[in-house]
Amino acid sequence: MRGTMSEREFSSLTGKLAMAVRYEHHAEEVAELRRQVEEEQVIRAVAKAVSTAPPLTAEQIDRITAILHAHSAPTRKPAARKPTRKTGAKRNGK
């Protein structure tokens, strides 16, 4: 089981994603970077929740595991997101 990334690694990853989105890299590259960022965010949230929770019973661990398995999807390519901000005269219809 892997732990969370260091703050430096996470910052680097989010920076790569921002650059890929800004400079309109291939949709597959952006989707993969976005998946990596979202994965790390989930790992950090789970690690934080577990660190503050009392010790879990085997039944509780089984329930949590079942939830994670229920939300796992078969491997598929997520749809590429369109840029959310339009700039420049040509893009604004001028």
* Predicted local confidence at residue 55, as pLDDT: 92
- Residue spans of the chain under pLDDT 50: none
pTM of the model: 0.62
Phi first, then psi: give them for residue 52, nearest 5 degrees.
-100, -10
**Residue-range domain boundaries for the chain:** 7-70
CA distances to 31, 65, 75 from 25, in Å: 10, 35, 22
* Predicted local confidence at residue 52, as pLDDT: 92
* Predicted local confidence at residue 83, as pLDDT: 61
34: its two tokens:
């976005």
* Predicted local confidence at residue 4, as pLDDT: 83
